Structure 1
Amino acid sequence: MFRPNMFEAQHQLLDMENSTYKTSDHEMGKMRAEDEFESNRSPIENIEALSGDEQDPNQRPKKKRYLRHTQYQIQEMEAFFKECPHPDDKQRKELSRRLELEPLQVKFWFQNKRTQLKGQHERQENQQLRAENEMLRADNESFKEALSNAICPSCGGPAAIGEMSFDEQHLRIENAQLREEIDRISSIAAKYVGKPLITYPHLSPQLPPRSADFGVGDFGPQSGMAVDMYGGAAVLLRSAAAPMEADKPVIIELAVKAMEELIRKAHAGEPLWMTASPDDSTGTLSEDEHSRTFPAEHGRKSLCLTSEASRDSAVVIMNHMNLVEMLMDVNQWSRIFSCIVSRAITLEVLSTGVAGTYNGAMQVMAAEFQVPSPFVPARESCFLRYCKQHSDSMWSVVDVSLDRLQVNPIPGCRRWPSGCLIQELPNGCSKVIWVEHVEVDDRDVHSIYRVLVNSGLAFGATRWVATLDRQCQRLTHMMASNISSGDDLMSNAEGRKSMLKLAERMLMSFCNGVGASTAHGWTTLSGSGADDIRVMTRKSIDDPGRPPGIVLSAATSFWMPVAPKRVFDFLRDENSRNEWDILSNGGLVQEMAHISNGHDPGNSTTLLRVNSANSSQSNMLILQESCTDLTGSYVVYAPVDVGSMDVVLNGGDPDYVALLPSGFAILPDGPVADHGGRALQAGGSGGCLLTVAFQILVDSVPTAKLSLGSVATVSSLIKCTVERIKAAVATDNA
């Protein structure tokens, strides 16, 4: 029920708030003048001004003479401030040396600049609040006028508030509730866009992960901006502010320029790309030539980051339109590149395309990219993805970081225009030209992986193209209706599909559990005999794809002076399994089913039976996925229940089969040569980097506490396995 005196009280309150804002504006004006003056003063003189108390009180203070920075010094520090507002001691010394200033002067200039920007933000917020105050005041006046002119519906005379009809009262109450809801949403949006993301009460940090795969690709555009992807804080979204309507013209301009740059980088030769031959589709990007060709198109290059650029091409067995759809669908994209993309989400869809196609589709995405080892930090990035059709048979998809539109850009990884050109070829094939160009902070990469990461093979275009080619071959074999009578032992088409889907989920779960994702933290156990062992625990509750209880994951990576292919063939061969697999306990390993899923004989899915003398392990089944390409190989396996596997082999749903995958990731220790003998880059010793990872259910009660004995057992298991592999491979390699 509304009362006239309520609006009078609101009116007085608004007048008081308005006068407060006016006083604040006057004070802020004085602060602004002082800030601008202080930001250009010499910090050395500021110190002298502060030490005036040490002078003789009877002596008249001398007039201070302030030193002004030159225009060049100010411009250079302004440019550095945009990239790094909080420089460390090393950066300040470098700036002072280059600008011929004292380090203390540089330090105080940055302090004054941050204070000045803080004052500007406060003034902007004050102006916004003042405008909202005026709007509320106008609404208040209109309400007062409407109440004074209210007419009784019964007699036609002036109406008191208590004489309003029930419907009118209900409408007014509903109107007030809607206005409160609008104000609440507006305040949240303002905080979200203008400041780092915070956790609101309705975002529970206790949400369990959706599946055994940590929910990779399970969230689409409908998930919302602040969805907790993995049960904790939304790590990928902590500074990925969604663009507002006012930013869309800037975003469109950014997308168009990024697309133009991608096309030019995809087709250019020297001097932009330094190649071994005119027909070479790879090469090394000349950073100087890139800066001259694309001067400051997407922001200033960071002095704190290292540039990585690569290009490669391949012909893949997939229709060009299916490729476009796969790249624009975050679920499919995450699944196809699960060995590279650990997590991904669509933040906002700005355009769905023209006439039911992806031509012109534009979306803001956040993703995390990984190497299958806990020794290489994952790379987070928030970027714009834009798709364009150039002709009936040519499409392109480009990614570019949105650093300029973010208040707090994600540190450590910036995507310059990267992506691929897709050209239609006969027989359902496509030619793909892939370009990867990023700036990253790779200081935390383990020393044994530095050569691989610096060469570009860890995150570069060659790895994306090789993974895409291998996955296209796998999809082709999965969908094949005519099964050859070669080495395949399964003739049931539905059983083949179910088994391949189960193996795909197993590989995804392994990759997402072995990398150094920000979604989970590793604890290092040193002194194990092998390299440092990293362990972590996860709780599984009501997850049909994982046994319920406490799961302990342990992983380590180390270098071996053996070729990657030799290690891969040894680990995937069932005849040599009892040389390293402690769980088989020396029993005979027999292949029960075999499905080829690629041109390389090493790409296969197999079902193994372990005939052990131990009654508890007798007739144990093991599902194994083996896959390899130019940039890396995987051997992943998991014990499976006999009854569940019978359902899968008969074409049943594989999502309800509980798996705890363990296995190996084998990467070259540096650049290698492709199948044609062409060196991708110089370097590398011909050895391999082997990651060993185990997942073990240590307690079936999710609320139980982890014991030190369980950790010691898993550590001993990894140590023993590593020693067996080294001994066996070294003997065979001698």
Structure 2
Amino acid sequence: MEYHSGGSGSPGDHHHHHHDGSSESQRRKKRYHRHTANQIQRLESMFKDCPHPDEKQRLQLSRELALAPRQIKFWFQNRRTQMKAQHERADNCTLRAENDKIRCENIAIREALKNVICPSCGGPPINDDCYFDEQKLRIENAQLKEELDRVSSIAAKYIGRPISQLPPVSPIHMSSLDLSMGNFGGQGMVGGPSLDLDLLPGSSSNMPMVPYQPACLSDLERSHMSDLATSAMDELVRLLQADDPLWMKSNTDGKVVLNLDAYDMMFDKTGNRLKNPNIRIEASRDSGVVIMNSLTLVEMFMDPNKWMELFPTIVTMAKTIENIAPGMMGGHSGSLQLMYEELQVLSPFVPIREFYFLRHCQQIEQGLWAIVDVSYDFPNDNQFGSQFRCHHLPSGCFIRDMPNGYSKVTWIEHVEIEDKTPVHRLYKNVIYSGVAFGAERWLTTLQRMCERLACLMVSANSTRDLGGVIPSPEGKRSMMKLAQRMVTNFCASISASASHRWTTLSASNEIGVRVTVRKSTDPGQPNGIVLSAATTIWLPLPPQHVFNFFKDERKRSQWDVLSHGNAVVQEVAHIANGSHPGNCISVLRAYNTSQNNMLILQESCVDSSGSLVVYCPVDLPAINIAMSGEDPSYIPLLPSGFTITSDGNQSDNTNNNNNNNNNNNIQGGSGSNNGDGASTSSNTNMGNNSGGSLITVAFQIMVSSLPSAKLNMESVTTVNNLISETVQHIKAALNCPSS
């Protein structure tokens, strides 16, 4: 048999005259040699297109790779066997998980059916627990789904493609019915196009989707990531330690900003930004003291779920895509992760920002940590179709231990932004000044949330009894957990990102309301179809004034269109969440209401970057469960509320224009974007020295608890009316012009 192979000396050639004379044994040895990385890469890419090459293709490969045709034949045989084993393994896992899931759903349905009718009187069931049992089972279902997701993604790594999951089990099929919210004084739109809700993606906060999951990373990519993270860490440490001339105080608002010319010279970046004149730079630095020790902070920063919990108003989604390097000796120092996150400003008018980035953590010395984030660009990242190109230049923080469990945190945000759509006029000041996503907002949020966590640890002495029950320390913890989930859910409903599986029905219509819809199957949320509507308005009043108005329960009837004129609201329980009296959780009860067992759970939070008031109706048995310290994660919540921030106009107009030019210099000459910058139409309304507020109003309503309902335009009209009526009430109560 003759081998046809490439150039001389290739493993397949017959060499009867090797200088050591042992040609036979050598050739036999060579047949078992390890293929080179290049050969494997070529074979793998061929295998992807064609797992069963014919003789002609094998000969062609044999010539190209200098391997014997037999070696190529054996390699393909082995690869096919290996692939088959992986498929079987993965399929087994999937089937096992699906099996568990179906068994669980089966139990849930049996429980639900058992509780539908009370056998003795034919009425609804008497015991309150059945609802919570069902909620508990839904939590277990969600955990199983998450497990299935994890198994699928592990399998996908080996196979190079995700396993197609079995179609979801829909246990009870109800006839598809048209859903209407009743005729509002004959104003409802009858007919109207309806949306088939079966086409909506099911939601699950446990498994948000990352828009782009890269294939298995090669060793080359990993080492490239490692180099990128190391040089980013060097840059961050130098940025954190440098002062003038690199960092300058802005002569308008006194905030610290980056001098780009000095930065370019220091890090040899000249000419980088000239390639694309539409790119803006946002760079800011801030530092402050936080009630948490450095090690706990580092642990929370390196865990995407805890990262989201620390910043519920900024981070709507975070996920570790891949752990590139573990920390040394089981700690975090030296660890490197590839992550994905979505950041938001709480308004439907500002699109979310998406980042794929590396997070690298390093202990610099005893009691001092540095964490750096730097964007990682995938070759085909154009497919995200995001409204921005967002790029993290080395950003991050120093966390230094201080006495008695505090830390000093110095924070740097440094991003390149290319806006593909114009910034909304209300937000030009806030966005172009870099305040919206800047270091100060991150740091003040961190300080407030760490204070909240510290309050969680203290015994119940920060709880006031107002004629209700004083919760035990466990009850207080449970109530705080419930309120935190309410706030997180509220913030996610405003950003309506794809990863939270919202479908936009109407993007900013004539009253500027964006309506989104999703199918809710999460444990801890009512089951069915949820409509969320949000808008942002400008008011010529300082933010603190507006916050006090929403916070005052005596004024609630002036804006709460659903209170049906119940003038008085009484606070029955109060839990302090921080040193500022505005940071608290309240349980409110409306007087003279027919629904005596319905209470309002409300959390308000305030710091220098803004404030929010979020509330949600919760029934008495559920509040009692939380107050007694039981796990509140299956109490269903559908929150609504307000967010309040400054409009960025704290100075007079001359300063504002000055600020504009200054920003031009500081943001790398992106004049095209902020040419009409700070002096928006709202600016003229305010006159000199007046700072106004941006108020986002957001509602969520349950349209139907039947999963197979159809949504017609009437329910969209309802939620639009709800928002516009609320906005009119607010303006009237605060004596603001209603136009």
Answer yes or no: is the 8 Å Cα contact 1:606–1:625 preserved in 2. Answer: yes
Cα distance in 1 for partners of 2:43, 2:275 equals 29
SS of equivalent residue, structure 2 residue 719: helix
> Which structure 2 residues correspond to residues 3-42 of structure 1 after superposition, within 5 A?
none
- Aligned pair count? 558
* 1:359 partner SS: coil
Change in Cα spacing, 1:603 to 1:485, as seen in structure 2 (3 Å) is closer
SS in 2 for 1:666: strand
Q: Does 1:452 align with 2:381?
A: no
Which of 177, 189, 204 is equivalent to 2:81? 177
Query: Where does residue 603 of structure 2 map in the other structure?
Result: 625
1:540 aligns with 2:545: no
1:722-733 to structure 2, matched below 5 A, reads 722-730=727-735
Q: Deviations over 1:134-155 (max 9, x none)?
A: 3999686269999xxxxxxxxx
Structure 1: stretches of 5+ with no match in the other structure: 1-6, 16-120, 147-171, 186-201, 674-680
Q: Does 1:412 align with 2:425?
A: no
- The 3 A distance-change label for structure 1 pair 320 and 177 is same
Tell whether 2:470 aligns with 1:490. yes
Distance 2:303 2:274 in 1: 30
Structure 1 residue aligned with 2:646, among 663, 668, 692? 668
Distance 1:672 1:432, change over 3 A: farther
Partners of 1:480 and 1:495 in 2: CA distance: 13
Conserved? CA contact 1:582–1:721, under 8 Å: yes
Corresponding residue SS for 1:651: coil
Q: 1:245 to 1:234 in 2, by over 3 A?
A: farther
> Residue 233 of structure 2: SS of its match in structure 1?
helix
Give the greater-gyration-radius structure (CA): 1
Report SS of the residue matched to 1:586: coil
State which of 400, 420, 423 in structure 1 corresponds to 2:400.
423
Cα distance in 2 for partners of 1:555, 1:255 equals 39
**Once the 2 structures are TM-superposed, how far is the Cα of residue 403 of structure 1 from its aligned partner?**
2.1
* Corresponding residue for residue 316 of structure 1: 290
Whole-angstrom distance in 2 between the partners of 1:184 and 1:581? 57
Q: Give 1:672 shift.
A: 5.2
2:517 is the counterpart of 1:522: no
- Supply the distance in 2 between the matched residues of 1:533 and 1:145 (Cα, whole angstroms): 63
- Structure 2 regions of 5+ residues with no counterpart? 7-40, 50-56, 90-96, 106-137, 166-200, 652-658, 661-677, 684-689
Question: Residues 431-476 of structure 1, C-alpha deviation per residue, up to 9 Å, x if partnerless?
Answer: 0000000011234431101111111221111110011000000000
Say if 1:539 and 1:405 are closer, same or farther in 2 by CA, change over 3 A.
Answer: closer
Contact in 2 for aligned 1:570/1:576 (Cα 8 Å): yes
Conserved? CA contact 1:272–1:286, under 8 Å = yes
TM-score normalised by L of structure 2: 0.67
Aligned pairs (5 A) from 1:219-298: 236-238=210-212, 240=214, 243-275=217-249, 282-296=255-269
Pair 1:564 & 2:538 matched: no
Deviation at 1:367?
0.8
Determine if the alignment matches structure 1 residue 511 to structure 2 residue 440: no
Given that 2:460 and 2:471 are in contact with CA atoms closer than 8 Å, whether structure 1 keeps it comes out as no
Name the counterpart of 1:359.
333
- CA 606–126 in structure 1, closer or farther in 2 if over 3 Å, else same: same
1:441 aligned to which of 409, 418, 422:
418
Assess, with a 3 A threshold, how the Cα gap between structure 1 residues 352 and 671 changes in structure 2: closer, same or farther: farther
Q: 1:282-303: per-residue Cα shift (whole Å, max 9, x none)?
A: 5121122211111249976751
2:70 is matched with 141
Q: For 1:146-196, what per-residue CA distance to the aligned partner results, in whole angstroms no more than 9, with x for missing partners?
A: 9xxxxxxxxxxxxxxxxxxxxxxxxx99985215568999xxxxxxxxxxx
Say whether 1:307 aligns with 2:278. no
**2:707 aligned residue (694, 698, 702):** 702
The 1:502–1:672 alpha-carbon spacing in structure 2 relative to 1, beyond 3 Å, is farther
Secondary structure, in 3 states, of the residue corresponding to 2:572?
strand
Work out the CA distance in 1 between the residues paired with 2:245 and 2:722: 53
Please, which moves more after superposition, 398-407 or 643-652?
Answer: 398-407
Q: Which residue of 2 aligns with 1:608?
A: 588
Matches within 5 A, 1:590-601: 590-601=570-581
Measure the CA separation in 1 of the matches of 2:712 and 2:610.
Answer: 35
Following TM superposition, by how much is the alpha carbon of 1:583 offset from its aligned partner in structure 2, in angstroms?
A: 1.6
Alignment RMSD, CA only?
A: 4.3
Name the CA distance, whole Å, in 1 between partners of 2:477 and 2:413.
Answer: 33
1:686 corresponds, among 672, 683, 691, to 691
C-alpha change, 1:703 and 1:241, in structure 2 (3 Å) is: same
Q: Distance in 2 between matches of 1:516 and 1:298?
A: 37
Q: Return closer, same or farther for 1:620/1:429 CA change in 2, 3 Å cut-off.
A: same
> Which residue does 2:109 correspond to in 1?
none
Deviates more, 1:663-672 or 1:715-724: 663-672
Q: Deviations over 1:504-556 (max 9, x none)?
A: 0000000011015234343437676xx41111111123x32111111111111
**One-letter code of the match for 2:524?**
G
- Structure-2 change in CA distance of 1:128 and 1:620 (3 Å): closer
Contact conserved, 1:376 with 1:516, CA < 8 A, in 2?
A: no
- Partner residue in 2 for 1:150: none
Residue 448 of structure 1 aligns with an amino acid whose one-letter code is: L
Alignment-mate amino acid for residue 310 of structure 2: I
CA contact (8 A) 1:490 1:595 kept: no
* % identical equivalent positions: 42
Displacement of 1:408 after TM fit? 4.8
- Higher RCO by CA contacts (8 Å cutoff, separation 6 or greater): 2
Aligned letter for 1:474? R
Assess, with a 3 A threshold, how the Cα gap between structure 1 residues 331 and 689 changes in structure 2: closer, same or farther.
same
Letter in 1 for 2:307: W
Cα 1:485/1:577, change in 2 over 3 Å: closer
Counterparts in 2 of 1:707 and 1:635: CA distance versus 1, 3 Å:
same
Indicate how the Cα distance of structure 1 residues 440 and 653 shifts in structure 2: closer, same or farther if over 3 A, else same: same
Change (3 A) 1:406 1:265: farther
Q: Within 1, Cα distance between the matches of 2:528 and 2:378?
A: 45
In the aligned structure 1, how far is the partner of 2:339 from the partner of 2:536?
31
Shift of 1:611: 2.1
